[in-house]
Amino acid sequence: MTSVAHLLADIADIGRDPRGGYSRPVYSIAELDLRAWFVGEATSRGLDVTTDRNGIIWAWWGRPRDGAVVTGSHLDSVPGGGAFDGPLGVASALDAIDVLRARGLSPDAPGARGLAVAVFPEEEGSRFGVACLGSRLLTGAIDPDRARNLTDTDGVTFAEASTAAGLDPAHVGRDPEALARIGTFLELHVEQGRGLGAIPDGPAIAVATSILGHGRWRLTIRGQGNHAGATLMADRHDPMVTAARVILAVREAAAAQPDARATVGRIVPVPGGTNVIASRVDMWLDVRHPDDDVTAATVTRISEAARAAGAAEGCEVDVVEESLSPTTHMDPALRRRLSDLLPGTEQLATGAGHDAGVLAAHVPSGMLFVRNPSGISHAPEEYVSDDDAARGTLALADALAGLGGVALAGAANGRDA
Ligand SMILES: [Zn+2]
């Protein structure tokens, strides 16, 4: 039986970033290689693999049908990300199918609901700016035209990148038939904070309680490009100076709100020359808080501070929302069921966004987190031990069976169909 560790070892050289970690943006050569790897692994297990019109890969074990139990995650990464964020959930799903099959369980047995693995594109939003783009398209949470016209840093549109990946962007958008096939969605994911790692001798697995509300905003600061030597300090309209003040305002606004997190992780001076005063700075703001009103108030405060800083420098500031997801409370009945099926597991809220959070507005959705002793994610230090990965597989297999995705072949298991 192939373990999760072996599966992850097979893809360990795909998309390595020479700066550290992995950079696997959606529909890049690296991500397409990972998608091909998944298709190969699923096919070798006898799964029926299709890619839908939103670029979501579905691997059905047995007959595709409505109301099935679906598990899965994503294969794209942030720039310089870890090895586990996304691929752990995909590899664990494949491994869990091996476990269930070895137990004599089948998705086509009487009483079984059916089982599929789904791989979602652009979960991180690291290429086109909108996180969970695949699940947003599937559920109709984003307008197809807006999605098609999203651009990456090279000016390539999502439509162009989709076409280059062999997909037809004309047909992206809400897909009620695909959505109807998900009766329950369960995503296994590396834990991205210190929740489990901080409990000595504690459990390796947690059931998600909620996903923190989060959003992304793009700030554009326009000043006057000029010569670094010939322009007196008093004569400058330097958007980099405004950007520096904005970053400090972001820290102050978030620090003033308990439980708020606000980050500027990406800033691009245009044109970007050592002896050039920038004419424009693009920067991206990520804000998260359990209370969506607090998130909105924090962004308002940052926007006001940014405009004031811009005015003082003679720069113009624009703030545009790129995506916004409310705080999601995972389905209470499913949470209880998962805790019953997986005794000894912890209950944890997460500050990271997930496709399960987007799907939760439409179908009962749950998540399992696997211990990450480093407490670090979206960075190379993200870590899951082989033993914990194996525990994750067993928890996922138990959950998928307990939720009725599979049943004993040749025998009704007494569960209501
Ligand atoms: Zn992830």
Indicate which CATH number applies to the domain containing 153.
3.40.630.10
Residue 415 lies in a domain: no
12-16 long-range contacts, Cβ below 8 Å, gap at least 24? Answer: 12/83, 15/77
Please check whether residues 160 and 304 belong to one and the same domain: no
Q: Helices (DSSP H) in 103-234: which residue ranges?
A: 133-139, 144-149, 158-164, 176-180
The label of the residue with tokens 């995909």 reads 90
Q: Give the whole-angstrom CA distance, residue 171 versus residue 158.
A: 13
C-alpha of residue 408 to centroid of ligand 1, in Å: 32
Domain boundary among 300, 325, 350: 325
C-alpha of residue 169 to centroid of ligand 1, in Å: 24
C-alpha of residue 124 to centroid of ligand 1, in Å: 7
Please check whether residues 311 and 359 belong to one and the same domain: no
- Residues 138-157 have pLDDT tens digits of 999 999 999 999 999 999 99
C-alpha of residue 85 to centroid of ligand 1, in Å: 4
pLDDT at 1: 43
The label of the residue with tokens 């016209």 reads 149
C-alpha of residue 48 to centroid of ligand 1, in Å: 24
Which region, left, alpha or beta, applies to residue 46 given φ > 0 means left and ψ of -120 to 50 means alpha? left
Please check whether residues 15 and 134 belong to one and the same domain: yes
- The answer, yes or no, to whether residue 417 has pLDDT greater than 60, is no
- Residues 266-300 have pLDDT tens digits of 999 999 999 999 999 999 999 999 999 999 999 99
Count the domains in the chain.
2
Q: pLDDT over 70 for what percent of the chain? A: 98
Residue 384 lies in a domain: yes
C-alpha of residue 226 to centroid of ligand 1, in Å: 41
Domain boundary among 305, 325, 345: 325
C-alpha of residue 132 to centroid of ligand 1, in Å: 9
Please check whether residues 88 and 125 belong to one and the same domain: yes
Q: Give the whole-angstrom CA distance, residue 15 versus residue 76.
A: 10
Torsion on CA atoms 200, 206, 212, 214, rounded to nearest 10: 100
For ion ligand 1, residues whose CB falls within 5 Å: 85-86
C-alpha of residue 74 to centroid of ligand 1, in Å: 7
C-alpha of residue 92 to centroid of ligand 1, in Å: 14
Residue 354 lies in a domain: yes
C-alpha of residue 399 to centroid of ligand 1, in Å: 20
Using DSSP, state whether 65 is helix, strand or coil.
coil
pLDDT at 197: 86
Please check whether residues 260 and 319 belong to one and the same domain: yes
Give me the sign of the Cα torsion angle 149, 153, 155, 160. negative
Please check whether residues 58 and 74 belong to one and the same domain: yes
C-alpha of residue 123 to centroid of ligand 1, in Å: 7
C-alpha of residue 318 to centroid of ligand 1, in Å: 30
C-alpha of residue 353 to centroid of ligand 1, in Å: 7
Q: The domain that contains 217 carries what CATH number? A: 3.30.70.360
- The answer, yes or no, to whether residue 195 has pLDDT greater than 80, is yes
C-alpha of residue 105 to centroid of ligand 1, in Å: 29
Distance of CA 82 to the CA centre of its chain: 13
CA atoms within 13 A on the CB side of 240: 15
Give me the sign of the Cα torsion angle 201, 399, 24, 32. positive
C-alpha of residue 89 to centroid of ligand 1, in Å: 9
Residue 414 lies in a domain: no
Please check whether residues 167 and 283 belong to one and the same domain: no
Q: Which domain holds residue 305?
A: 213-325
Q: How confident is the model at residue 402 (pLDDT cuts 50, 70, 90)?
A: very high
pLDDT at 40: 98
Q: Give the whole-angstrom CA distance, residue 38 versus residue 114.
A: 20
C-alpha of residue 66 to centroid of ligand 1, in Å: 26
pLDDT at 411: 56
C-alpha of residue 189 to centroid of ligand 1, in Å: 7
Please check whether residues 233 and 263 belong to one and the same domain: yes
Residue 71 lies in a domain: yes
Report CA Rg, the chain.
23
Distance of CA 312 to the CA centre of its chain: 38
Please check whether residues 187 and 47 belong to one and the same domain: yes
Please check whether residues 158 and 18 belong to one and the same domain: yes
What angle is formed at CA 19 by the lines to CA 78 and CA 250, rounded to 5 degrees? 55
Please check whether residues 197 and 57 belong to one and the same domain: yes
Residue 413 lies in a domain: no
Please check whether residues 145 and 290 belong to one and the same domain: no
Domain boundary among 325, 354, 369: 325
Q: What is the pTM of this model?
A: 0.92
Residue 69 lies in a domain: yes
Residue 55 lies in a domain: yes
